[in-house]
């Protein structure tokens, strides 16, 4: 099997949570790790696949979700980034009416929007060759070409792609040790109560991330796991690596 690997990084990112914002603070929240849906959207932008606007118009899944439905994806965080809150003041009055979250200040339609931002993120990405445009994607990335601009969740948050390689490898089932990538939490076979009560000095991320859309154009979620603790993992892993493959 061929696997395309590259580094995806950026100075700023906002992977907007499906809950949209914290009702108590009107704060747009970000996922701490890039969701698979966002990553597939970036791949779709490189290849020129149709996105959400076309999907809503024609009442179907985004083209990038459909065409990448069989691909296996590995996400290895290199830098998780630091989180801070950014406040944006929109004084134009356009696109504010009916928009949430917003706070109207004084007279008019001034909107103050607060959002969580991740700064200085970097991931090593692994894609299996189980989609039609694998070679096209490889050549586009090697030549630094994209059909559409690629961003990390928001306009202006530009993404950079580097270290593009094509590897020959295989996928094996099962792994014991420290995963270098995110994995599906349901496939962690280690006694979770013991793991999380005895290794408090390890870093641990257990969060629900959107992995695809259903027929109603709503997110479908999977709990994912990322930690430096030793585990037993009953999922697909790239041979001779600690990179879990998620489908």
The three-class DSSP label of residue 133 is coil
Residue 238 forms part of a structural domain: no
Residue 194 forms part of a structural domain: no
Average pLDDT score over residue span 92-119? 61
**Looking at residue 70, which CATH number applies to its domain?**
3.30.70.2660
Average pLDDT score over residue span 202-227? 84
Residue 47 forms part of a structural domain: yes
The closest of 114, 106, 107, 110 to 93, measured between CA atoms, is: 110
Instruction: Check residue 84 and give its pLDDT.
Output: 92
Instruction: Check residue 94 and give its pLDDT.
Output: 53
Instruction: Check residue 103 and give its pLDDT.
Output: 45
Residue 73, token pair as written in the block: 């994806």
The C-alpha angle with vertex 189 and arms to 224 and 239, in degrees rounded to 5, equals: 75
Q: How far apart are CA 219 and CA 191, in angstroms?
A: 29
pLDDT higher than 70, residue 9: yes
Domain that holds residue 154: 2-169
Q: How far apart are CA 185 and CA 245, in angstroms?
A: 13
Average pLDDT score over residue span 44-70? 89
Residue 221 forms part of a structural domain: no
Q: Which residues contact 20 (CB under 8 A, 6 or more apart)?
A: 28, 29, 100, 101
Residue 240 forms part of a structural domain: no
Q: How far apart are CA 238 and CA 72, in angstroms?
A: 10
Q: Give the burial string for 180-208 (b: 16+ CB within 10 Å, else e).
A: bbbbbbebbeeeeeebeeeeeeeeebebe
Tell me which of 9-18, 191-200, 205-214 is least confident. Answer: 191-200
Residue 223 forms part of a structural domain: no
Q: What predicted TM-score, i.e. pTM, was given to this entire model?
A: 0.87
Residue 186 forms part of a structural domain: no
Tell me which of 13-27, 165-179, 230-244 is least confident. Answer: 13-27
pLDDT higher than 50, residue 106: no
Average pLDDT score over residue span 70-87? 94
> What domain count does the chain have?
1
Instruction: Check residue 139 and give its pLDDT.
Output: 97
pLDDT higher than 60, residue 199: no
Query: 20-23 long-range contacts, Cβ below 8 Å, gap at least 24?
Result: 20/100, 20/101, 21/100, 21/101
Instruction: Check residue 102 and give its pLDDT.
Output: 46
Average model confidence (pLDDT) across the chain: 86
Instruction: Check residue 202 and give its pLDDT.
Output: 62
Average pLDDT score over residue span 176-188? 93
Tell me which of 68-77, 101-110, 186-195 is least confident. Answer: 101-110
The answer to whether residues 164 and 4 touch, using CB atoms and an 8 Å cutoff, is: yes
Residue 22 forms part of a structural domain: yes
């Amino acid at each position: 099997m061929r696997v395309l690997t590259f580094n995806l990084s950026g100075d700023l990112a906002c992977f907007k949570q499906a809950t949209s914002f914290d009702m108590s603070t009107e704060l747009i929240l970000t996922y701490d790790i890039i969701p698979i849906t966002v990553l597939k959207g970036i791949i779709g932008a490189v290849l020129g696949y149709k996105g959400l606007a076309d999907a809503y118009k024609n009442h179907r899944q985004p083209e990038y979700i459909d065409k990448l439905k069989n691909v296996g994806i590995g996400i290895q965080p290199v830098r998780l980034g630091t989180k801070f809150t950014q406040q944006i003041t929109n004084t134009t009055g356009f696109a504010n009416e009916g928009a949430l979250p917003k706070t109207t200040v004084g007279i008019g339609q001034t909107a103050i929007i607060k959002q969580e931002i991740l700064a200085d993120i970097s991931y090593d990405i692994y894609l299996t060759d189980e989609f039609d445009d694998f070679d096209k994607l490889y050549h586009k990335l090697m030549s630094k070409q994209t059909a559409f601009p690629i961003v990390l969740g928001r306009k202006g948050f530009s993404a950079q792609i580097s270290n593009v390689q094509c590897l020959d490898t295989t996928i094996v089932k099962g792994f014991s040790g420290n995963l270098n990538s995110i994995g599906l939490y349901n496939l962690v076979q280690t006694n979770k109560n013991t793991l999380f009560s005895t290794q408090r000095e390890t870093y641990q991320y257990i969060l629900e991330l959107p992995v695809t859309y259903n027929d109603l154009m709503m997110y479908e979620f999977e709990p994912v796991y990322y930690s430096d603790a030793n585990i037993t993992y009953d999922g697909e892993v790239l041979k001779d690596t600690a990179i879990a493959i998620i489908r």
